[in-house]
């Protein structure tokens, strides 16, 4: 079973948007997908409640007394959304089961600083060697100073982003209906699908 964890200690950086769309792509490929949510806000769980029955199936799990419930039988892929401030025992628990860890970050000084500290903590973690790490730049606006600063940070870090996702209302409108980029006509979200292709390639590697 493949487990993809989406994490960043900073709130509001697009973790749930990234997690739900990854789950949507996996479901569209015919996989038995479970979208887990250990964020107390339960954004992913709320999103699943909005998902129309005719869309490719994505199953959820429940959080009981802060303990992760096992995935349903037959699950082949798990996408795990995580809360802000992920650290300590919770970080330990997700890294124990993660195959891939995706860290979304926005081009802002606050997000860059928080992500830098988080990446340092990840590299020191005892389970770091078994997890494939990827960065995804989100809400990117081309030709802005903020995006320039983000690119400088990534260059200094020595780890380029897997891809950059533009700042668009498409994600907002789709999330409000429990949908993903792969649940609508490709022509409506063509530019976004192109930006996702490097991330899909990374997930398939």
134-177 confidence digits (pLDDT tens): 999 999 988 888 888 898 988 888 889 999 999 999 999 999 99
Please provide the DSSP assignment of 109-168 as one string.
HHHHHHHHHHHHHHHHSTTGGGSEEEEEEEEE-TT-HHHHHHHHHHHHHT---SEEEE--
Q: What is the pLDDT of residues 67-113, one digit of tens each?
A: 556 777 899 999 999 887 777 788 888 888 899 999 999 888 888 88
Residue 65 has pLDDT above 70, yes or no: no
Spans of all domains in the chain: 2-204
Q: Round to whole Å and give the CA distance between 2 and 88.
A: 23
Find how far residue 47's CA is from the centre of its chain.
14
Q: Using an 8 Å Cβ cutoff, are 41 and 137 in contact?
A: no
The whole-number average pLDDT for the span 21-36 is 96
Find how far residue 109's CA is from the centre of its chain.
20
Task: Please give the model's pTM, rounded to 2 decimal places.
Answer: 0.92
Number of Cβ atoms within 10 Å of the Cβ of 135: 23
pLDDT value of residue 42:
67
Helix (H) or strand (E) holding 71: none
Residue of 98, 104, 137, 132 whose CA lies nearest to 118: 104
Residue 64 has pLDDT above 60, yes or no: no
pLDDT above 70 coverage of the chain, percent: 94
Q: Round to whole Å and give the CA distance between 160 and 142.
A: 16
Residues 6+ apart with CB under 8 A from 179: 24, 51, 52, 55
Q: Round to whole Å and give the CA distance between 77 and 165.
A: 23
Q: What's the CATH number for 2-204?
A: 3.40.50.300
Torsion, Cα of 93, 36, 42, 104 (10° steps): 80
């Amino acid at each position: 079973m493949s487990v993809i964890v989406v994490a960043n200690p900073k709130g509001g950086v697009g973790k749930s948007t990234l997690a739900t769309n990854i789950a949507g792509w996996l479901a569209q490929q015919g996989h038995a997908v479970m979208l887990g949510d250990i964020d107390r806000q339960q954004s992913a769980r709320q999103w699943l409640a909005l998902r129309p029955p005719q869309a490719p199936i994505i199953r959820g799990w429940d959080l009981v007394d802060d303990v992760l419930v096992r995935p349903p039988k037959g699950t082949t892929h798990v996408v795990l959304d995580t809360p802000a401030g992920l650290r300590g025992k919770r970080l330990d628990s997700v890294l124990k089961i993660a195959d891939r860890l995706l860290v979304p970050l926005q081009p802002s000084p606050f997000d860059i600083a928080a992500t830098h500290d988080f990446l340092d903590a990840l590299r020191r973690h005892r389970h770091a060697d078994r997890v494939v790490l990827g960065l995804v730049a989100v809400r990117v606006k081309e030709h802005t100073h903020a995006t320039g600063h983000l690119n400088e940070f990534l260059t200094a870090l020595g780890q380029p982003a897997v891809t950059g996702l533009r700042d668009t209302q498409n994600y907002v409108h789709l999330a409000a209906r429990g949908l993903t980029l792969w649940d609508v006509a490709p022509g409506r979200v063509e530019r976004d699908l192109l930006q996702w292709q490097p991330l899909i390639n990374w997930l398939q590697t």
